[in-house]
Chain A
Amino acid sequence: MRTLFVSPYPPARDGLAAYALQLAGKLRSTGETVDVVSPAPSGARYHTNFLTLSGRLRLMRLSRRYDRVLVQYHPFFFFGSSGKLAYLGDILGLLLLFNSGRRVEVYVHEVDYAAGSRRRLAPLWRRVWRSPERIYMHTAKEHSDMVHAFQLSKDRVQLVSHGDSFVPRAELTRSQARQTLGVEAEAFVFLCIGFLQWHKGFDRAVRAFAALGSQPHAQLYVVGSIRVPAPEHSAYVDNLHDLIEGTPGAHLRESFVSDARFDAWIVAADVVVLPYRVIWSSGVVERTALLNRPAIVTDVGGLSHQARDDTTLVKDEGELIVAMARACDAQISAPAVDAAPTTHAAAVRWVADRGHRLWLWEDPMAGVSTAVNLPAGDARMIEPLGFPLEPNARGLKRLILRSVGRMTRWQLMPVVSYVNRMRDALLVEEANHRAPPPPQDEI
């Protein structure tokens, strides 16, 4: 069988690309011919922009040459602009792709379930998701959400294990891995690994680790890098830096991690901590299982369905602290977890304390000095520079103005880009100079 795989592909470094490589390897080992088309140049045989008309037509032409088309779906790769018309075009592009091959099967990594219930576009979205012959989801929760959101037949949507085709990328013992990574041999090591973004919630792990007090042999390593540069991500990572700097035993290894090093870190760890705020299903959870390391994960998305016997699911900061303390045999003080107040003064303090902790737990940008938190009138009020809107004119005048606009657009592009980069830099700089939030006692 000849299969076309529509997916990001290594050496691009992201979870989907790694997933694709392993799945392609598995299919090839069964004798299938697998070619890959990726959205950017890579190790794939073909590449084309999934977001342009010419790219979509090329995808359609390629699809017709193969017996089967496997699509790895993540909105990041199929949706570009936030404009209404462009969004509609993106949906139609997806519909075209799902209908162009002989046998189209889709691996869904993330999807906007709410799209299935939005009044205007819901019928179109349902049509999109009814087009593929098979849809693969990674957890029972995602399976159920998908079926309900787009009113799909249960038979059409199948459940596959996220780590079904995963293979280890590092053949190291724990001590070798620790030596390689410069991690203390005798320490009890907690690990948070992945892209450094607010929704991964690694700040939660740092705060919980701090609550363990001084455990001489416990260390927390936060490892990863920013994936998509944006002021809010930079500000989040700056805050993570500050948080970790003030937490003895916690370390930030901000680096662009290869697949082999990713696995080496997991092997080096005693427990992998993944306190995600938002997730659909997690490749890191699967790699952790593959390499036989226990994990502590928040009960979000489909993670409860990925859990194994050695996975601890937590719902809040208290449970996270307890789980981490149990893992490293740490003694923790009762107030750190949940001490019921017995006096009014204690109750007032308890409310303030719990409120503050809940704020930190729930609000992804809590404590982060970013433009997002700046009051009105500050630099954030400078809107990003965009291209001039379509002229508000009719007939020939409109045609001429539009033509002139399009012909000169390329000259404006570097200017717009440069101004926006300056704006971003200004916002981050301004955010960095703002006072930190008041200490806990003052809340």
Chain B
Amino acid sequence: MSKEDSRPVGVVASRYGDNVLGGAEAVLRAMATRLQLRGWPVEVLTTTSVDLYRPANAEQPGTRDEGGVTVRRFAVVPPERGPDLIGHRILAGEPLSVLEQMQWMNTGMRSPDFFDHLSSHARDYQALVCAPYMSWLSFVCAELAADRTILMPCLHDEPFARLELFRSEFEDVRGLWFLSDPERDLAARLFRLPSQTEVVGSGVEPPSTFDAAGFRRRHGLDGEFLFYAGRREWMKGWNDLLDHLSFTARRLGRSLTLVTCGAGAVGTAPQGVELVDLGFLPDAERWNAFAAASVSLQPSSNESFSLSVLESWAAGTVVVANAKSAVVAWHCERSEAGLTYRDRYEFAACLALLLGSADLRCELAARGLQYVASTYPWSGVIDRTESTLTEWQ
């Protein structure tokens, strides 16, 4: 693979665009743009869907320039899983037959047009970079063009990762890009990895200044508040977070304000918790939110990188995170900039400590800022992706 090769590097994302949520999608988008700036021919292969929860043909199919990158969009067929009985059985750890696994995979969001395109044109790309491993598009890349597929799995420890179905995605592709060491360790425990793997990580690029006061003013917030940015869903620990906050409020004998942005229904605020849902926030305002918060929360145990933790630190805010996420615990331990909890009691203890000591918050946040600046600049990430693109055969 080389920059001189006229064939593009295909960057395959289920959704693509400014308003698209999802860590994998954000990393792919940033990589596509930056690889192109470094002189690589890049073409984004994506769908017409932009909404994670309600996949539909929101954009027009076809090829166009989006922000300087060639983007080829394919129409999608929405999921046909109904109540998703198979998905529930997977989560329950029930063994499934090969046919059932295939049925589950092929009844999620899919794009026959993308399949047709790839079955005829896979050789027109020097590489296909895709993420995450559970995406139908990634699955198709590994099935149709394993020899040129570079998978960025965004893997975390979950029942889906143990499906036989995904073995070929991890074992037969040209190479794997991981976002962190714990992610690679987990993959090595679950699969027989190919010889070509690299922890490329992801970059964090904060704005030069933050407008924390303006953020508070615009959203009518005064006093301390906790912040969570991400999907408000069970798999991301949302329900536990509300439960833990309510418990903590009772223990501390005061109400807590949780400001949140992202997708998914927030539900009803539990006793002692004031819930402020800002919905989808543009990038700049989200950075301001991180900067304005007293403590940033990461309740998810299903993280492969946790961009929001790094963004919190980059904005100078301390983090309290779920210790069950190996990668987040790893970040917190390495940086000495975050506290982790294993249950509601430790969660309450974390908040009691941090909300009671502005000095400690500042000290930890400063370490976090240094950790992000030294470890995750985009330049280093793109250096590593470029060298693997050049070296991997």
Contact = CB atoms under 8 A, between A and B. Distances in A.
B143 A11 contact: yes
Interface stretch (B99-107, B260-268, B301-309, B339-347): B99-107
- Interface size band for B: 20 to 34
Given A13-B98, A42-B106, A260-B146, 8 more contacts: A24-B119, A41-B110, A43-B119, A226-B97, A228-B97, A256-B98, A257-B168, A259-B143
B181 interface: no
6 contacts: A11-B143, A40-B102, A45-B116, A229-B97, A258-B143, A260-B168
A24 B115 CA distance: 12
Contacts of A117: none
Interface string B162-192: 0011011001100000000000000000001
Nearest to A180: B194
Contacts of B120: 25, 28
A13 B102 contact: yes
A264 B119 contact: no
B106 to A, nearest CB: 4
Contact of B172 (A44, A182, A225, A258): A258
Contact of A11 (B77, B140, B147, B164): B140
A179 B164 CA distance: 21
A41 B77 contact: yes
Nearest to A254: B164
A225 B168 CA distance: 14
B225 interface: no
Contact of A25 (B105, B119, B140, B143): B119
Contacts of B116: 43, 45
Interface string A9-53: 011110000000100110010000000000011111100000000
The 7 A-B residue pairs with the shortest CB-CB distance in the complex, in nearest-first order: A43-B115, A258-B168, A260-B146, A229-B97, A41-B106, A256-B164, A11-B143
Interface in A42-81: 42-45
A260 B98 CA distance: 17
Contact of B164 (A12, A43, A45, A255): A255
Contacts of B139: 11
A10 B97 contact: no
Contacts of A28: 120
A141 B224 CA distance: 82
A11 B102 contact: yes
Nearest to B145: A260
A225 B306 CA distance: 36
B164 A260 contact: no
A226 B112 CA distance: 27
Contacts of B143: 10-11, 13, 258-260
Given A180-B194, A226-B98, A260-B172, A171 B119 contact: no
Interface string B87-109: 00000000001110111011100
Given A258-B143, A260-B146, A41 B107 contact: yes
Given A228-B97, A256-B167, A264-B172, A11 B119 contact: no
B114 to A, nearest CB: 8
Contacts of A43: 110, 112, 115-116, 119, 140
Contacts of A21: 119
A243 B77 CA distance: 46
A257 B172 CA distance: 10
Interface in A192-229: 225-229
Determine chain B's interface SS by DSSP, over half rule: helix
Contact of B99 (A10, A44, A227): A227
A170 interface: yes
B80 interface: yes
Interface of A: 10-13, 21, 24-25, 28, 40-45, 169-171, 179-180, 182, 225-229, 255-261, 264
Contacts of A228: 97, 99
A225 B119 contact: no
A247 to B, nearest CB: 23
A250 B77 CA distance: 45
Interface in B127-164: 139-140, 142-144, 146-147, 164
The listed residue with most A CB atoms (<10 A of its CB), out of B97, B101, B147, B194, is B97
A171 B174 CA distance: 11
A259 B119 CA distance: 13
Given A225-B98, A255-B167, A40 B106 contact: yes
A193 B8 CA distance: 36
Contacts of A24: 119
Contacts of A179: 195
Contacts of B99: 227-229
Contact of A261 (B102, B103, B164, B168): B168
Contacts of B192: 182
Nearest to B97: A229
B106 A12 contact: yes
A261 B173 CA distance: 10
The listed residue with most B CB atoms (<10 A of its CB), out of A40, A43, A264, is A43
Contacts of A25: 119-120
Interface string B194-209: 1100000000000000
B80 A41 contact: yes
A394 to B, nearest CB: 38
Nearest to A179: B195
B337 to A, nearest CB: 40
Nearest to B144: A10
A260 B119 contact: no
A46 to B, nearest CB: 8
A193 to B, nearest CB: 14
B15 to A, nearest CB: 19
B147 A170 contact: yes
A227 B103 CA distance: 13
A424 B72 CA distance: 48
A170 B172 CA distance: 10
